[in-house]
Amino acid sequence: MYRDARSGLIVFLAHCILNQNTRARGVARRRGPFEEVVVFLAEKGIGVVQLPCPELEFFQEIRVPSAKDALDTPEYRAFCKELASRAVDLINLLLKQKLRVIGIIGVEHSPSCAVTEVPLSSADLYKYSEGMGIFFEELSQALRERKLDVRFTGLYSASNKAETNVERLRTLLEEA
Ligand code: SF4
């Protein structure tokens, strides 16, 4: 359609997949980006939109780690809802240009950006339950409200999970 080099494929990434510097104190697992993700996306020619880091922007500092119960205030949820709405505006715009948004990629174990494994209780930050983080719930809801169907997948921050991460990206691409 555009008669040029573009692949027409795009993913939206949770901010810290490309920039671990925004993570809460003591939980950054990489020096910068997830290398395997950058390599995979570059090799496949998939364009990247970096989502904002909701916790950094809301708290205006690199905060201490927390669970969903501590973060889930009306103020933080409203903030995430606003960020989600803007991201979905952009997804909608890209889709209207006949580009394909093949996925929204989150970070498992984050109270804001998890897709399937979220820490629910401040009593145990390292116990994960099935569910999404607050920002990703709002993204999911904003997509539903606009009747847009975009797949989600979650990656792991630990570098020893790099193969799992690549496998999840491969699945996303194959099922796009
Ligand atoms: S998981 Fe989400 S909220 Fe946490 S550092 Fe990454 S982008 Fe920010």
Phi, psi of 87 (to 5 degrees): -65, -40
- From CA 117, how far away is CA 128, in angstroms rounded? 5
The pick from 12, 13, 16 for probing ligand 1's pocket by mutation, whose C-beta has the most ligand atoms within 8 angstroms, reads 16
Nearest protein CA to atom 5 of ligand 1, as residue: 23
pLDDT digit of tens for each residue in the chain (176 aa)? 799 999 999 999 999 999 999 999 999 999 999 999 999 999 999 999 999 999 999 999 999 999 999 999 999 999 999 999 999 999 999 999 999 999 999 999 999 999 999 999 999 999 999 999 999 999 999 999 999 999 999 999 999 999 999 999 999 999 98
Any residues with Cβ below 6 Å from ligand 1, and which? 14-16, 22-23, 53-56, 107, 110, 112-113
Whole-model pTM? Answer: 0.97
Domain ranges of the chain: 9-174
User: Tokens 């690549």 — which residue?
Assistant: 166
The helix or strand, by DSSP H or E, that contains position 138, with its residue range, turns out to be: helix 134-145
